[in-house]
Amino acid sequence: MEILTDEQFTRHFRSAATDLERIKLAVRANRYTIWTRGDKPNLPEEYMTPILLLPDKHPVKRSKRKSGGEGYDYVVELKYEYRGTGRRIPVYMKGFFSKEGSLVLQLEVQSLREDE
């Protein structure tokens, strides 16, 4: 995907019908940051790529956000499988969309870890 300006990304984000479409947009446009955590380290970014192959009806949970910087007041949670190592690894992803004023900037991935 071509590099999108903040305005273009915001326009595509707002035209997306579902949270999964918004998450896929962020991954395709490389508009995400995986937070560094000391308590439970997050998986590397290649664990985000299977998101692009998820079916449109794959469930995404949305709940009220309790922390983080400026952004939407909800978090999205997604469970899927990573198979890049030759075995199935269940993955849990949790994040929120950051914004600055009226512009949507990126997906802030708070948790990207093996699902327990």
Phi-psi region of 92 (alpha: psi -120 to 50; beta: other; left: phi over 0): beta
pLDDT tens digits, residue range 65-111?
987 678 999 999 999 999 988 889 999 999 999 999 999 999 999 99
Residue 79 placed within a domain: yes
Phi-psi region of 113 (alpha: psi -120 to 50; beta: other; left: phi over 0): beta
Residue 59 placed within a domain: yes
Q: Write phi, then psi, for 37 (nearest 5 degrees).
A: -125, 140
pLDDT of residue 39: 83
Residue 80 placed within a domain: yes
- Partners of 79 in the beta sheet? 92
Cβ(80)–Cβ(61) below 8 Å: no
pLDDT tens digits, residue range 36-67?
888 888 999 999 999 999 999 999 999 999 87
Residue 74 placed within a domain: yes
Report the number of distinct structural domains present in the chain.
Answer: 1
Residue 94 placed within a domain: yes
- Structural domain range at position 47: 6-114
- State the pTM of this model: 0.93
Residue 1 placed within a domain: no
Residue 93 placed within a domain: yes
Residue 71 placed within a domain: yes
